[in-house]
């Protein structure tokens, strides 16, 4: 499976990128770093600069067609930048419209709120995002990971880096199940 990891050029929480990326690799799938900017993405370790990562694909009005699932890593600055980028919001919305699974951690549900895909769904996030989720018509729960299988797409959400084991396990299970249902699931 080809898994898109969507992020802005700066501000992704490093561990919220690297741990799910490794889980996708360990599952035998093909992670692709998709960004709103070219070249490299600058990660952060909370407020300190972290590593940089090469961009595989620059977003330019793309749809979910080339991918089987989407991961939205958090951090504060990353989803804040994505939710202000029409292409990123449209790309995210397209995964839901196509019925493809999406996983989001920490502050990443800000992008989901902007894409108007949380209405009628139950999800978790960093606690300060709870009001935004409720105001967008979603139900917020305080859980390590929450899987919402509302049609048309499965949504896997998690609160914070401490929950990454549960998040990564759930996203691998749900992405695999989705690939089996859709006939995808191949590299």
187 lies in some domain = no
- The answer as to whether 92 is a domain residue is yes
Task: Taking each helix axis as running N to C, give the angle between helix 164-182 and helix 14-26, from 0 to 180 degrees, rounded to the nearest 10.
Answer: 40
Whether 41 is covered by a domain: the verdict is: yes
Q: Is residue 155 part of a domain?
A: yes
Which domain range does residue 103 map to? 2-182
pLDDT exceeds 50 at position 186: no
Burial pattern 52-80, b for ≥16 Cβ within 10 A else e, equals ebebeeebeebebeebbbbbbbbbbbbbe
* Spatial distance between the Cα atoms of 145 and 157, rounded to a whole number of angstroms: 6
The number of CA neighbours under 13 Å toward the Cβ of 102 is: 30
Give the C-alpha separation, 187 to 180, whole Å: 13
pLDDT in tens, 90-118: 999 999 999 999 999 999 999 999 999 99
State yes or no: pLDDT of 84 exceeds 60: yes
Per the structure, the count of domains in the chain is: 1
**Per-residue pLDDT tens digits for 126-177:** 999 999 999 999 999 999 999 999 999 999 999 999 999 999 999 999 999 9
Model confidence, pTM: 0.95
pLDDT of residue 180: 54
Whether 24 is in a domain gets the answer yes
Domain contains 174 = yes
Let me know if residue 55 belongs to a domain: yes
Active site residue 106: yes
Catalytic one of 71, 81, 105, 106 = 106
CATH number at residue 53: 3.40.50.880
| 72 within some domain | yes
């Amino acid at each position: 499976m080809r898994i898109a990891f969507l992020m802005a050029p700066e501000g992704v929480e490093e561990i919220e990128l690297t741990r799910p990326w490794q889980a996708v690799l360990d599952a035998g799938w093909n992670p692709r770093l998709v960004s709103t900017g070219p070249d490299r993405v600058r990660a952060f370790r909370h407020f300190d600069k972290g590593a940089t990562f090469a961009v595989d694909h620059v977003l330019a009005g793309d749809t979910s067609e080339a991918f089987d699932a989407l991961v939205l890593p958090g951090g504060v600055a990353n989803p804040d930048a994505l939710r202000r980028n029409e292409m990123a919001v449209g790309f995210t919305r397209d995964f839901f419209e196509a019925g493809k699974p999406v996983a989001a951690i920490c502050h990443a549900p800000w992008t989901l709120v902007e894409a108007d895909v949380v209405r009628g769904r139950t999800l978790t996030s960093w606690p300060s995002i709870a009001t935004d989720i409720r105001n967008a018509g979603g139900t917020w729960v305080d859980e390590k990971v929450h899987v919402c299988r509302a049609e048309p797409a499965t949504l896997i959400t998690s609160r914070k880096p401490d929950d990454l084991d549960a998040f990564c396990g759930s996203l691998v299970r749900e992405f695999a199940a989705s690939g089996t249902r859709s006939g995808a699931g191949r590299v």
